Structure 1
Amino acid sequence: MNELLLTDDERDRAGGRLVALLDGYERGLPKADVLPALDRTRLAELLATPMPERGIGVDALFDRWEDTILPNSTTVAHPRFLAYVLGPPNGIAPYAEAVAAALNQNCNFSQLSPAASVVERAVLEWLASVVGFPATSKGILTGGGSLATLQALATALHDRVPDFHATGLQRDAAPLVVYTSVEAHRSVDKAAAILGIGLDNVRHVRTDERHRMDVHALRAAIERDRRDGLRPWCVVATCGTVSTGSVDPLDAIADLCAAEDLWLHVDGAYGALFLLSEDMRSLMGGCARADSITLDPHKLLFVSLEAGCVLVRDGAKLRDAHAFDSSYLTVADDELMTDYMDYGPQLSRNFKAFKVWSALQAFGVEAFRAANERTLELAQRLGRGIEATPGLTLLAPVTLTAVCFAVDGASPAEVLETLAAENVALLGPVVVAGKRGIRACITNHRTSTADIDLILERLRR
């Protein structure tokens, strides 16, 4: 007997209970609390329980999931969970995750994961085509947008700093400078700190009245740093800022980067996959001119966490920055396969591409295009409703799906607490141009017109 396998009977019971759990969770969403009241006693018991010497078995484990874990988990799949740029998983996601866990492919080199290698390559080529990158581009799926940005900047360092693998930044040279906007995601600062660029060498460029990077201010900052003997090196533009959903003027920034010989990275974790819709090409088609770009399939493709992505226009540069020889790994050139250990920092990595591939296979691009366009339309509906309501003030233009507003005479914290306590919606706080307000981010394929109207009605009252 193998102590770590289930018996035939246990497998039958586990399968039945899992199907029942998933079905019950789905059917219960309309009546669920978006932010459940925590059972702190049960959670404290979890923490106080010592490592079990003997297992409790399949049925007791499912009981514990159902009476402790599920009731104390935020209902991300609730149609009025609108606090963050985080949507619910699509319907096939739990099943794809289960199959990937059973296969347990180590997606580092193709001998360990042949089908996975081809699936990831297919997914990356699909995503590159959405962005408009050439066939020479390469990429890798990551744990999220922050890691993707870190990898992109590491690739840019390797490309622009001679002998970077050998000497890093330990050299007698002027400091490198990276430019981004004051609205950029904090992952840019974090990447600069981790990579040794230093926060003192990150320029946070002011924005215009639409909260987009001011290209004139960017140009002036680059010129000033060159005069001061520093080394302008990289610009990180944003395609969908977290606070307001603004999109930087990507073409103008690309023109400036080309003229100044700077690496252009686009943080498209929030917004770039809206390019699935042709209507968004005029706003964010400049993504195609980037040297590298961050995407997040776990946002607009609604796959379960985690599934980020970095794409690099010249794929050889991504490989050059991350490839190392290892005598104990047997690899051979194969035009069909890709050894992803040569395209990122990880050796052990799971089969993230499977859930992306499975979702696109199950539903097709058309379904995701429709879902994304619906979220854009719902955001506009909410924005119009706020503008039409005395006592509510829209704080920023509704560019994508982030809707920022204030309730006159009320503290944002009190409004947020009331909406959550009444199970109307879970929204989030925001600061726009120094003014505190409330933000609804409609990146939820379950959200409907009725949900938006319910939120508006409660705000009016």
Structure 2
Amino acid sequence: MSELVLTDEERATAGTRLVALLDRYERDLPDAQVLPAPDREQLTRLLADSLPDNGIGVDGLFDRLEDTILPSSTTVAHSRFLAYVLGPPNGVAAYAEAVAATINQNCNFWQLSPAASVVERAVLEWLASVVGFPASAKGILTGGGSLATVQAMATALADRVPGFRETGLQRPAPPLVVYTSVEAHRSVDKAAAILGIGLDHVRHIATDERNRLDVGALTAAIDADRRAGRQPWCVVATCGTVATGSVDPLDALADLCAEQELWLHVDGAYGGLFLLCEEMRELMGGAARADSISLDPHKLLFAPLEAGCLLVRDGAKLRAAYAFDSSYLTVAEDPLLTDYMDYGPQLSRNFKALKVWSALQVFGVDSFRAATRRTLELAQHFARGIEAVDGLTLLAPVTLTAVCFAVDGASRTEQTRLLERLAAENTALLGPVLLGGRHGLRACVTNHRTTTGDIDLILARLQEVVASRS
């Protein structure tokens, strides 16, 4: 027998210890420290350990997990973890991940992962239907929204720049220009740098009073670049900016891109899946007109990291950007099964779709609609509470679940110290924000465990802080 296989007794021990760990973690969450201070002595000892010639066994491993890893891990599942657009995993996630690791499917060409191929296709078709994309849409699950944006822009280059796949940037042609807002995620800049477009050819367009990309300013920038001999080719709109949750005017941008023959990509990593809520369709319905959209199931579908998604309205364009012939990987085409190596840059890929599919099977989409709707309602409750406290000021309209506010008269240093104090006393983990030159605090309610009681506790503590300043 292989030395890398557990014995019957070791498997039983591992199962017992794992179930106990998961159960205890869940039960201890209400009293856990949301941002525990790292045990530097223990972590330093991890670095001091040499590569072990002999193992410590199953019990030894779980002892180290419980004594060293868990105590120095941020409690993302805590109901007052509100600093980032990052929710806790859903309840079935750990079990689905264990199954995916056990069967270890390589989701590249279908022969290595036939069931996984169909599960991923099912998840992608469900997500495309949420966005409103046609049956011709195709997609792929990615490591997150940033990678989805890189892959979308690469697809746009292959489609909108003739001969780009063959010659790349090694051609005598006008410089390519991409447009996005000043509030866009940094992944747009990173994608431009990775793809060789260059940061000098990313136009960060001004926003309106609601922090949305200004279509008039965008039109003027496109016209100026054309007159200067440059080649506009892509606009990246945002459906939920990280700082304020603002949603760019997607319909107007779709009209402009159609008129100008530009690719429209929508970064929906934060906000796109709020389309699960029917009341958000008026605000976000223009997403269905985009050429491509990125989504993050590891946000509002509460899948464990990593689970991003790229969807392309015309699926043939996605395949045209990524498919290559390889005789050693060729298998017969099958209308049921998909070779995902032809829809993205990776060959070896893990079974990300299983955790998304499993959660939808266990809880049903109505549960996710209810959870996302509750986060929207809690954010509005938080905003009303801020407005009701003299000495606190909202810094931006609350469009989705980001609530940005400031303590009146407090310096940047004072507000930073307040963030540290709130975390240290375990009131909440909030984050900093800078809007219109003003420093403040930001809560982002993307946590299905958060309750009205949690929000009220934070508001009460903020009120105490403000009162103590007077």
User: What is the TM-score normalised by the length of structure 2?
Assistant: 0.98
Letter of the 2:20 counterpart: A
**Helix, strand or coil for the counterpart of 1:111?**
helix
Which residue, 407, 426, 430 being the options, matches 1:427?
430
In the alignment, the residues of structure 1 paired with residue 206 and residue 310 of structure 2 have an alpha-carbon distance, to the nearest angstrom, of: 26
The aligned residue for residue 205 of structure 2 is 205
In the alignment, the residues of structure 1 paired with residue 174 and residue 165 of structure 2 have an alpha-carbon distance, to the nearest angstrom, of: 18
Alignment of 1:434-453 (within 5 A): 434-453=437-456
Please report how far the alpha carbon of residue 373 of structure 1 lies from its aligned counterpart in structure 2 after TM superposition.
0.3
The aligned residue for residue 150 of structure 1 is 150
The aligned residue for residue 332 of structure 1 is 332
The aligned residue for residue 235 of structure 2 is 235
Please report how far the alpha carbon of residue 327 of structure 1 lies from its aligned counterpart in structure 2 after TM superposition.
1.4
Q: What's the CA shift string for 1:79-103, capped at 9, x where partnerless?
A: 0000000000000000000000000
The aligned residue for residue 159 of structure 1 is 159
In the alignment, the residues of structure 1 paired with residue 132 and residue 314 of structure 2 have an alpha-carbon distance, to the nearest angstrom, of: 13
Alignment of 1:192-271 (within 5 A): 192-271=192-271
**Helix, strand or coil for the counterpart of 1:437?**
strand
Alignment of 1:4-19 (within 5 A): 4-19=4-19
The aligned residue for residue 185 of structure 1 is 185
In the alignment, the residues of structure 2 paired with residue 294 and residue 412 of structure 1 have an alpha-carbon distance, to the nearest angstrom, of: 33
The aligned residue for residue 277 of structure 1 is 277
**Helix, strand or coil for the counterpart of 2:232?**
strand
Please report how far the alpha carbon of residue 42 of structure 1 lies from its aligned counterpart in structure 2 after TM superposition.
0.2
**Helix, strand or coil for the counterpart of 2:243?**
coil
**Helix, strand or coil for the counterpart of 2:327?**
coil
The aligned residue for residue 126 of structure 2 is 126
State yes or no: 1:135 paired with 2:138: no
Please report how far the alpha carbon of residue 262 of structure 1 lies from its aligned counterpart in structure 2 after TM superposition.
0.5
Please report how far the alpha carbon of residue 315 of structure 1 lies from its aligned counterpart in structure 2 after TM superposition.
0.2
Letter of the 1:96 counterpart: A
Q: What's the CA shift string for 1:254-290, capped at 9, x where partnerless?
A: 1111111110000000001000010000000000000
The aligned residue for residue 61 of structure 2 is 61
**Helix, strand or coil for the counterpart of 2:328?**
coil
In the alignment, the residues of structure 2 paired with residue 304 and residue 342 of structure 1 have an alpha-carbon distance, to the nearest angstrom, of: 25
**Helix, strand or coil for the counterpart of 2:404?**
strand
In the alignment, the residues of structure 1 paired with residue 203 and residue 365 of structure 2 have an alpha-carbon distance, to the nearest angstrom, of: 38
The aligned residue for residue 80 of structure 1 is 80
Q: What's the CA shift string for 1:10-36, capped at 9, x where partnerless?
A: 100110010000000000000000001
**Helix, strand or coil for the counterpart of 1:328?**
helix
The aligned residue for residue 312 of structure 1 is 312
**Helix, strand or coil for the counterpart of 2:364?**
helix
Q: What's the CA shift string for 1:372-402, capped at 9, x where partnerless?
A: 0000000000000001110001000000000
Alignment of 1:383-402 (within 5 A): 383-402=383-402
Letter of the 2:416 counterpart: A
**Helix, strand or coil for the counterpart of 1:349?**
coil
In the alignment, the residues of structure 2 paired with residue 298 and residue 331 of structure 1 have an alpha-carbon distance, to the nearest angstrom, of: 32
Give the CA RMSD over aligned residues: 0.6
Runs of 5+ in structure 1 lacking a partner?
A: none
Please report how far the alpha carbon of residue 163 of structure 1 lies from its aligned counterpart in structure 2 after TM superposition.
1.9
Could you list the structure 1 runs, at least 4 aligned residues long, displaced by more than 4 angstroms after superposition.
none
Please report how far the alpha carbon of residue 330 of structure 1 lies from its aligned counterpart in structure 2 after TM superposition.
3.0
Please report how far the alpha carbon of residue 160 of structure 1 lies from its aligned counterpart in structure 2 after TM superposition.
1.1
In the alignment, the residues of structure 1 paired with residue 73 and residue 14 of structure 2 have an alpha-carbon distance, to the nearest angstrom, of: 21
Alignment of 1:292-307 (within 5 A): 292-307=292-307
Range with greater deviation from structure 2 (326-335 or 447-456): 326-335
Please report how far the alpha carbon of residue 332 of structure 1 lies from its aligned counterpart in structure 2 after TM superposition.
1.2
State yes or no: 1:371 paired with 2:374: no
In the alignment, the residues of structure 1 paired with residue 456 and residue 34 of structure 2 have an alpha-carbon distance, to the nearest angstrom, of: 17
In the alignment, the residues of structure 2 paired with residue 136 and residue 307 of structure 1 have an alpha-carbon distance, to the nearest angstrom, of: 22
The aligned residue for residue 113 of structure 2 is 113
State yes or no: 1:352 paired with 2:355: no
Please report how far the alpha carbon of residue 164 of structure 1 lies from its aligned counterpart in structure 2 after TM superposition.
1.6
The aligned residue for residue 418 of structure 1 is 421
In the alignment, the residues of structure 2 paired with residue 56 and residue 208 of structure 1 have an alpha-carbon distance, to the nearest angstrom, of: 59
Please report how far the alpha carbon of residue 77 of structure 1 lies from its aligned counterpart in structure 2 after TM superposition.
0.2
In the alignment, the residues of structure 1 paired with residue 256 and residue 247 of structure 2 have an alpha-carbon distance, to the nearest angstrom, of: 17
**Helix, strand or coil for the counterpart of 1:211?**
coil
Runs of 5+ in structure 2 lacking a partner?
A: 465-470
Please report how far the alpha carbon of residue 412 of structure 1 lies from its aligned counterpart in structure 2 after TM superposition.
1.7
In the alignment, the residues of structure 2 paired with residue 2 and residue 193 of structure 1 have an alpha-carbon distance, to the nearest angstrom, of: 46
Letter of the 2:418 counterpart: V
Range with greater deviation from structure 2 (151-160 or 327-336): 327-336
Contact kept, 8 Å, 2:161 with 2:233, in 1: the verdict is no
In the alignment, the residues of structure 2 paired with residue 389 and residue 163 of structure 1 have an alpha-carbon distance, to the nearest angstrom, of: 59
**Helix, strand or coil for the counterpart of 1:305?**
coil
In the alignment, the residues of structure 1 paired with residue 257 and residue 227 of structure 2 have an alpha-carbon distance, to the nearest angstrom, of: 17
In the alignment, the residues of structure 1 paired with residue 147 and residue 332 of structure 2 have an alpha-carbon distance, to the nearest angstrom, of: 28
The aligned residue for residue 95 of structure 2 is 95
Letter of the 1:109 counterpart: F
User: What is the TM-score normalised by the length of structure 1?
Assistant: 0.99
% of aligned pairs identical? Answer: 78
Please report how far the alpha carbon of residue 196 of structure 1 lies from its aligned counterpart in structure 2 after TM superposition.
0.7
In the alignment, the residues of structure 1 paired with residue 47 and residue 286 of structure 2 have an alpha-carbon distance, to the nearest angstrom, of: 49
Count of paired positions: 461
The aligned residue for residue 24 of structure 2 is 24
The aligned residue for residue 37 of structure 2 is 37
Range with greater deviation from structure 2 (204-213 or 155-164): 155-164
Please report how far the alpha carbon of residue 434 of structure 1 lies from its aligned counterpart in structure 2 after TM superposition.
1.3
Letter of the 2:263 counterpart: W
**Helix, strand or coil for the counterpart of 1:101?**
helix
Q: What's the CA shift string for 1:313-363, capped at 9, x where partnerless?
A: 000000000001111113111000000000000000000000000010000
Please report how far the alpha carbon of residue 409 of structure 1 lies from its aligned counterpart in structure 2 after TM superposition.
3.0
